[in-house]
Structure formats: structure tokens, C-alpha cells
């Protein structure tokens, strides 16, 4: 892996987080020059744990101030671009802050700025609340411009450390260009639902999956016979779970397969972290935070229920798995295991090779190649 992937050699936790941010560059919500400035500052402070959030927040505050000034001057579109960048930097700053008041406030700032940016830059986007167990789940509904009549729609669930504000851009913009709508939703344990509503991850994701389908099917813009469920990274498990239990969806997509055995995976991460805290892409507290447990051991025990091993055979709808050959977060073997176990007669596995590019986790080294492949498959399979 080159410098683009490994920004901080020997420090996977910082490198992976930086790559997630850099991967948003094609969608106008980060600036590579600004990220380079942050990383140069961090290289001089790599031994300081607080340096991470201090430097990312420092840049976020500066860009947010410019956004406020642009808005005050009546330049809403410019303000929108700046708010998107500030929001992504706040979100990146928050990543390695332990759960508590500081983390919550950084999460709130991130969501606020990203929301301001999306509403200013994209006139067909709508902030929505999806009814869910007597409450709601926050989401963005991005309508394809110029489309008349009911259209195909993709429901997108996030990964373990992402948010709907990201997925509505790197997935939704491409789908909109193809005439499809997107519901980018923060399910339990994700984005805003976790950060501001204390909704923690659950293994039975068919529950939020059903809620998402019920919502989009109720909208006149949506063709209920052409709704696809998709999840990326950790969401690869969620999409598989939804596809197994809700046959109303027309197809499912795992944008990177989750580990076959989440319990074993997290045990291995804990072992590696105990030896070297910089050797994994995950902080020592992140998993227990999303699981809503007091200890990591309790979170790992809860992870026993997060497996597709017994239910993959029940996935009968068309199902796509996209994975990178050199994925350092989720080994490619997990994608092969899931593919073999799928019960669908229309299953497809795409492994991106080093020659093609897009070999890192969720194609972070070439995100567009993965999204294009998924969109083409949906067009060929569902439409």
C-alpha cells in the first residue's frame, strides 16, 4: 500500500481514519490540501493522543467560520461547500474522542454543519424521519432530478464508523445521476442515531430494515417493486440480515462483506490492540460504544448474535457482494464465505484486484469504481 492508503506508516488507526476522510474528496465535502495541512501537523505530534482531535477540530472551526461569513454575505452555495467540509472534519475529529460530553458536542457540530451544507448544495434533498418502534430514525431522502413517476430507490445503511451524510453523497449522487432515489439512513448504532439519540447496534436489523422499506414505499416518488437494500462495511452484515428477512426488497448489496464471525473478529482485534493500540483501524472504545455496553468484554459477547452463518441460506433475492482483494479491515475470505453460503440463485461476487484498483476496504482507494460497479449491477438486475 502506498502513501495514499498509509498516511502514517505503522499507525493503522490514524491512517485508516485519514483515508476515510480523503475518500470523500470526489464528492466536494473535503479538500485534499486541507487534509495535507492537518496531517503535516499531526506528524509532528504523533506521540500526543489529544493531537488527533485538536488538529481536525482546529481546521473544522476555521472552515466553519468561513462558511458563516459566506452565508452572512448572501453566498449560500459557497457556504454550503464550506459547511460540508467543516462537518466532515468535525466528524473525523470526533472519531478518537471517548464517549462523553466532548464526543457528543463534536458529533452535534458535525451533523449540523453537514446538514447545512447538504441543504444548500442539493435542491432535491430532504431531511426526513423514518417511523421506528414508537420513535424515528434520522435520514436523508435524495430525489433524482427530473424524474417523473415512481422510480427505483436504494436504501443505504452505514458502516460502523460512518454516517448518512457521507453515504448520501458517495452513493446517492451516483444513483441520482442514473434516475434513482436514495434513502440514506442512520440505523441503530450509526451516525446521528448513536451520537444524539443513544440508539445502539442490534443484531436483528430486519427491524430497522422493515421500517425503511415501509417509509420509502409510502412515498409517491418510489416504485415499491424496485427498492434495493444496501449496506457498506459493517452495513454489509445489516444488508444481508435485512435481505434474509424482508422479501419486499428487490435486491440486496453488501458493499464489503462483514466478518463471518463478528465475535471472533472482535476478539482478534482486542488481542492485536493489547499488543499494539495502533495496529487496527478501530479505537479501544469504539466497539463497546456502538454496542451500548459498559465493557469491551460485554460488547464482544453481544457480538455472538451478529452472524449470517445460519441465515445466509435464507437470502433468496438477487444479492451482490463487492470486496477488495487487499482489504486490511475485513479479510477477503469473508466475502467468499458469504457468497458460498447465499441461497440466492442470482448471487454475484466482485473482488477488485490490485490491477483494477479499489482493493482497500469499501474501495476507499478508488471509491467511485465500487459505486459504479454496484450501480451497473442494480441496473442490470433490478430495472
Q: What is the pLDDT of residues 14-61, one digit of tens each?
A: 999 999 999 999 999 999 999 999 999 999 999 898 999 999 999 999
77 falls within a domain: yes
Give yes or no: residues 374 and 347 share one domain.
Answer: yes
> Domain containing 11 — which CATH number?
1.20.1440
Give yes or no: residues 332 and 192 share one domain.
Answer: yes
pLDDT on residue 383 = 87
pLDDT on residue 15 = 95
Query: In which domain, by residue range, is 249 found?
Result: 124-260+307-383
268 falls within a domain: no
For 118, residues 6+ apart whose C-beta sits below 8 A from its C-beta are 80, 84, 125, 140, 165, 168, 169
d(CA 16, CA 4): 10
pLDDT at residue 282 greater than cutoff 70: yes
Tens digits of per-residue pLDDT, 143-171?
999 999 999 999 999 999 899 999 999 99
pLDDT on residue 337 = 94
Give yes or no: residues 45 and 67 share one domain.
Answer: yes
pLDDT band at 1 (very low <50, low <70, confident <90, very high): low
pLDDT on residue 303 = 94
Residue 207: count of CB within 10 angstroms of its CB: 17
Residue 379: count of CB within 10 angstroms of its CB: 13
Give yes or no: residues 44 and 64 share one domain.
Answer: yes
In whole numbers, what is the pLDDT of the chain averaged over residues? 96
pLDDT on residue 49 = 84
Question: Look-up: residue for cell 466478518?
Answer: 259
Q: What is the end-to-end Cα distance of the chain in Å, rounded?
A: 37
Handedness of CA 9, 12, 18, 21 (dihedral sign): positive
CB 223 within 8 A of CB 382: no
Question: Look-up: residue for cell 445521476?
Answer: 177
Please tell me the total count of domains within the chain: 2
d(CA 265, CA 244): 22
pLDDT at residue 260 greater than cutoff 80: no
| Closest to 350 (Cα-Cα) out of 281, 255, 284, 274 | 255
Beta bridge partners of 309: none
> Domain containing 363 — which CATH number?
3.40.50.1820
Question: Diameter of the chain by CA atoms?
Answer: 58
Tens digits of per-residue pLDDT, 320-344?
999 999 999 999 999 999 999 999 9
pLDDT on residue 2 = 75
**Which of 96, 121, 146 is the endpoint of a domain?**
121
Strands 151-157, 222-232: pairing is: parallel
The model's pTM: 0.96
289 falls within a domain: no
Amino acid at each position: 500500500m502506498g502513501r495514499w492508503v498509509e498516511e502514517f506508516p505503522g499507525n493503522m488507526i490514524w491512517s485508516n481514519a485519514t483515508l476515510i476522510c480523503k475518500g470523500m474528496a470526489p464528492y466536494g465535502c473535503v479538500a485534499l490540501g486541507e487534509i495535507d495541512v492537518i496531517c503535516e501537523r499531526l506528524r509532528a505530534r504523533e506521540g500526543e493522543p489529544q493531537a488527533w482531535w485538536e488538529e481536525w477540530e482546529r481546521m473544522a472551526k476555521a472552515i466553519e467560520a468561513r462558511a458563516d461569513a459566506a452565508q452572512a454575505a448572501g453566498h449560500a452555495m459557497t457556504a454550503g461547500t464550506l459547511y460540508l467540509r467543516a462537518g466532515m472534519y468535525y466528524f473525523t475529529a470526533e472519531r478518537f474522542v471517548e464517549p462523553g460530553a466532548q464526543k457528543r458536542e463534536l458529533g452535534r457540530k458535525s451533523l449540523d454543519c453537514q446538514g447545512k451544507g447538504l441543504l444548500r448544495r442539493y435542491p432535491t434533498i430532504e431531511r426526513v424521519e423514518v417511523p421506528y418502534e414508537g420513535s424515528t430514525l434520522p435520514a436523508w431522502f435524495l430525489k433524482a432530478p427530473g424524474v417523473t413517476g415512481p422510480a427505483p430507490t436504494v436504501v443505504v445503511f452505514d458502516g460502523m464508523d460512518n454516517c448518512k451524510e457521507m453515504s448520501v453523497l458517495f452513493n446517492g449522487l451516483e444513483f441520482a445521476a442514473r434516475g434513482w432515489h436514495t434513502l440514506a439512513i442512520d440505523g441503530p448504532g450509526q451516525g446521528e442515531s448513536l451520537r444524539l439519540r443513544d440508539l445502539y447496534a442490534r443484531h436483528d436489523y430486519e427491524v430497522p430494515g422493515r421500517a425503511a422499506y415501509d417509509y420509502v414505499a409510502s412515498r409517491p416518488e418510489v416504485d415499491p417493486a424496485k427498492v434495493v437494500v444496501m449496506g457498506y462495511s459493517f452495513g454489509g452484515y445489516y444488508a444481508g440480515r435485512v435481505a434474509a428477512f424482508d422479501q419486499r426488497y428487490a435486491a440486496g448489496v453488501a458493499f464489503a462483506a462483514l466478518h463471518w464471525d463478528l465475535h471472533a473478529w472482535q476478539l482478534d482485534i482486542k488481542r492485536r490492540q493489547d499488543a499494539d493500540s495502533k495496529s487496527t483501524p478501530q479505537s479501544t472504545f469504539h466497539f463497546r460504544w456502538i454496542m451500548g455496553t459498559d465493557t469491551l468484554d460485554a460488547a464482544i459477547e453481544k457480538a455472538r448474535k451478529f452472524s449470517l452463518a445460519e441465515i445466509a441460506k435464507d437470502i433468496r433475492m438477487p444479492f451482490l457482494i463487492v470486496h477488495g482483494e487487499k482489504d486490511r479491515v475485513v479479510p477477503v475470505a469473508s466475502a467468499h464465505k458469504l457468497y458460498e453460503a447465499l441461497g440466492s440463485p442470482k448471487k454475484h461476487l466482485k473482488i477488485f484486484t490490485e490491477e483494477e484498483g479499489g482493493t482497500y476496504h469499501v474501495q476507499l482507494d478508488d471509491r467511485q469504481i465500487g459505486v459504479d460497479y454496484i450501480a451497473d449491477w442494480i441496473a442490470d438486475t433490478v430495472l
